[in-house]
Structure 1
Amino acid sequence: MNNQTTEIDLLELLFFIKKKSISIIFSMAAALILAIVFLLVEKDEVNISYEIKINSDAPSMIINCNADFDCKSNFIESIIKGISDRFTIQADERTKVINLTWRGNASEKPIADAAIKTIYQKINSWYIQDYQAYKRIIDDNKNNVMNGSELYTKIAFITKLDYSKEKDFIFISKSDVSKKYKTGIFIVLSLMIGFILSTFYHLTKRSIIEYNEKKIFKKTQIN
């Protein structure tokens, strides 16, 4: 019995939507036009993406982070934020990659590429300075009480590694430019929103009318 009632309600709803189809189609068309206008206005808005791969860990990373990739990426993130606040930074633990995204106009690509070049130079410079700082600790503490400690052993091992080649520290991929708004998805969503809002409006209006009619009918019955 409940199934039959549900089927009747569903059929009634479909008939109601069919009855209001012209209005619903008009709403969907209006939503589509607005979406197309928006896409035309925003046609030059893009996402410019880069990937940073850590090829060699700095002494600070090894001592403070061990195998914690998020900890290592925090070192990189602090350098990037000191250069530009235009990048969205996201560390991917699974792929061991730091993703950078510049959101803006397509004409800003040279600015983004210049910022990436500066970031690359600053990170490499930091690696070298970090290595040299820990090497000085070893050189200054050969006969110190620190000699023989676990920290001293770690630093001594690290400074034996080759940190002289900048290309060994990080790798930054070439820029990948993509549209900020996917045309197909955006249009489909606008049509769905137009359909849902129009249908909701008509159903709400119908419910209000039916409620008022029942209210008037009850009053007449009482009188």
Structure 2
Amino acid sequence: MKNETTEIDLLELLFFIKKKSKSIIFSMAVALILAIIFLLVEKDKVDINYEVKINSDAPSMIINCNTDFDCKSNFIESIIKENSDIFTIQSDERTKVINLTWRGKLSEKPIADATIKVINQKISDWYIQDYQAYKRIIDDNKNNEMNGTELYTKIAFITKLDYSKEKDFIFISKGDVSKKYKKGIFIVLSLMMGFILSTFYHLTKRSILEYNEKKIFKNSQIN
């Protein structure tokens, strides 16, 4: 009995879809047109992906973050955001990498590469300034109450590493080019979405109408 009921329900659903086929096909056509327009607009667009790896921890990172990668990446991300808003930034604690994504025309990739060079230099400048700032703390506090404290010892140890002579504080990979949208898959998904949404709309509408009819019939029976 259960299988027969399921079969009847399925046949009823197929019959209903057939009955509404014109509306469903129209919805799929609209979805297809929108998908094609979107692909035409985005046809020359690509994603350029850069990976930023921290090679050296700045004094601020060591004192404030210890081994917390998210904390360290926040220092780098703040410098990137101060100097450019063209990248989507996402840090990955598992791989210890900060991912930068730029989207635009492939012909405009030199713009992204040039911005990366500027960011790299700004980060290097910050490392040197950070080192020098902590070195001044040590130099200015040799004979005061801070001398001998745990913080003083930590800063003194850090400043023995001459950051001002280093060059490769971070590593930024060459931008990998990837296209975000595959035309065939995107069009098929759009058609499926048009079919599903249209069918769902008609089924919901029918359910509401049937519910209202039953409610009206029930009220008429009571009266």
| TM-score normalised by L of structure 1 | 0.83
Amino acid in structure 2 at the alignment position of 1:99: N
Deviation at 1:24, TM superposition (A): 3.6
Deviation at 1:67, TM superposition (A): 0.8
Residue 165 in structure 1 maps to residue 173 in structure 2: no
User: 2 CA distance for matches of 1:74 and 1:46?
Assistant: 27
Structural RMSD (CA)? 3.0
Residue 38 in structure 1 maps to residue 34 in structure 2: no
User: 2 CA distance for matches of 1:49 and 1:121?
Assistant: 19
Q: How many residues align?
A: 221
User: In the alignment, which residue of structure 2 is the partner of 1:79?
Assistant: 79
Deviation at 1:130, TM superposition (A): 0.8
Amino acid in structure 1 at the alignment position of 2:65: C
| Secondary structure of 2:148's aligned partner | coil
Bigger drift between 25-34 and 85-94 goes to 25-34
Deviation at 1:152, TM superposition (A): 1.1
Please list, as runs of the form range in 1=range in 2, the aligned pairs for 1:67-216 lying within 5 A after superposition.
67-163=67-163, 164-167=165-168, 169-203=169-203
User: 1 CA distance for matches of 2:29 and 2:139?
Assistant: 75
Change (3 A) 1:208 1:135: closer
User: 1 CA distance for matches of 2:217 and 2:144?
Assistant: 98
- Aligned residues with identical type, % of pairs: 86
Change (3 A) 1:61 1:217: closer
User: 1 CA distance for matches of 2:131 and 2:100?
Assistant: 25
Change (3 A) 1:131 1:12: same
Deviation at 1:21, TM superposition (A): 4.5
User: 2 CA distance for matches of 1:94 and 1:199?
Assistant: 42
Amino acid in structure 2 at the alignment position of 1:76: I
| Secondary structure of 1:120's aligned partner | helix
Change (3 A) 1:215 1:137: closer
User: 2 CA distance for matches of 1:10 and 1:125?
Assistant: 68
| Secondary structure of 1:103's aligned partner | strand
| TM-score normalised by L of structure 2 | 0.83
Amino acid in structure 2 at the alignment position of 1:165: E
Bigger drift between 58-67 and 44-53 goes to 44-53
User: 2 CA distance for matches of 1:141 and 1:97?
Assistant: 36
| Secondary structure of 1:181's aligned partner | coil
Bigger drift between 22-31 and 174-183 goes to 22-31
User: 2 CA distance for matches of 1:165 and 1:214?
Assistant: 80
